[in-house]
């Protein structure tokens, strides 16, 4: 009797140099630190910024799991009131959330964008926030013209990281998943992109290391421009 042969498991193809690069925007490119003085101006402690944003992401992801998610600003409004006071007026809420339009970029953003421009690789901003708000902030920082476009998964009523979000993004830029990279400081965002078949670039600036529970990114580095240099060094 012939012994059963072990099943052959297909190995994923080695990563190739991306033909398109998608950048997460809030925290990866735009500094949330710019919102902290707005909390203080309301008489709130500055550390509420981190709690607010964590709750915003949690609520947006939970609503996405339940079905269609509301727009980013709707969720942000609810979570700001939960964090900093249910009695906040509409004007007080706006005084914080309008600050997303004025966020500065991190120091390594321009160099990362310029590396792709010089290599002839189109770069896109890809957020689950407001594309118009993020685009305005990038324009104020003088780097918007280095991106081909800025768009949001709000178009499909979803926060990241379900697979459909990355499928939508690849279709939106007219690319191929295996030649499209997602770059982010959030390991869960890179994990979602990898699970959808994209190339993953993880910038360690925020989390400090690659968590054990996520898929391993193809490229990781402390600085955003070093991540891009690593992606560009992948074989053609």
Q: Are residues 44 and 120 in the same domain?
A: no
| pLDDT tens per residue across span 146-186 | 999 999 999 999 999 999 999 999 999 998 999 999 999 99
Is 0.85 topped by the overall pTM?
yes
Domain assignment present for 186: yes
121 lies in the same domain as 92 = no
Same domain? 143 vs 92 = no
Same domain, residue pair 194 and 121: yes
- For 184-194, how does the pLDDT look when each residue is reduced to its tens digit (9 = 90+)? 999 999 999 99
Q: Are residues 96 and 108 in the same domain?
A: no
Give pLDDT, residue 125.
98
DSSP the chain: -PPPPPPPPPPPPPP---SEEEE--BTTTB-GGGGHHHHHHTT--TTHHHHHHHHHHHHHHHHHHHSPPPPHHHHHHHHHHHHH-TT--HHHHHHHHGGGGGPPBPTTHHHHHHHHHHHT--EEEEESS-HHHHHHHHHHTT-GGGSSEEEEGGGGT--S-SHHHHHHHHHHHT--GGGEEEEES-HHHHHHHHHTT-EEEEETTTTSS--TTSPPPSEEESSHHHHHHHHHTS--
Task: Residue 171: give the domain boundaries.
Answer: 20-31+103-232
Predicted pLDDT at 8: 43
């Amino acid at each position: 009797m012939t012994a059963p042969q072990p099943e052959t498991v297909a190995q994923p193809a080695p990563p190739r140099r991306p033909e398109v690069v998608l950048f997460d925007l809030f925290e990866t490119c735009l500094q949330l630190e710019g919102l902290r003085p707005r909390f203080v101006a309301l008489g709130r402690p500055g550390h509420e910024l981190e709690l607010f944003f964590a709750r915003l992401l949690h609520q947006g992801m939970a609503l996405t799991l339940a079905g269609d998610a509301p727009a980013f600003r709707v969720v942000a409004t609810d979570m700001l009131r939960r964090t900093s006071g249910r009695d906040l007026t509409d004007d007080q809420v706006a005084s914080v959330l309008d600050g997303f339009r004025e966020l500065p970029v991190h120091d390594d953003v321009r160099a990362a964008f310029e590396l792709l421009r010089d290599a002839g690789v189109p770069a896109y901003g890809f957020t689950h926030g407001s594309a118009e708000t993020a685009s305005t902030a990038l324009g104020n920082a003088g780097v918007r013209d280095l991106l081909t476009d800025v768009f949001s998964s709000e178009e499909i009523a979803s926060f990241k990281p379900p697979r459909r979000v990355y499928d939508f993004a690849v279709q939106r830029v007219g690319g191929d998943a295996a030649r499209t990279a997602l770059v982010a400081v959030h390991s869960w965002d890179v994990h979602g992109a990898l699970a959808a078949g994209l190339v993953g670039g993880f910038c360690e600036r925020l989390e400090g290391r690659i968590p054990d529970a996520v898929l391993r990114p193809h490229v990781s580095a402390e600085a955003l421009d070093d991540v891009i240099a690593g992606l560009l060094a992948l074989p053609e």
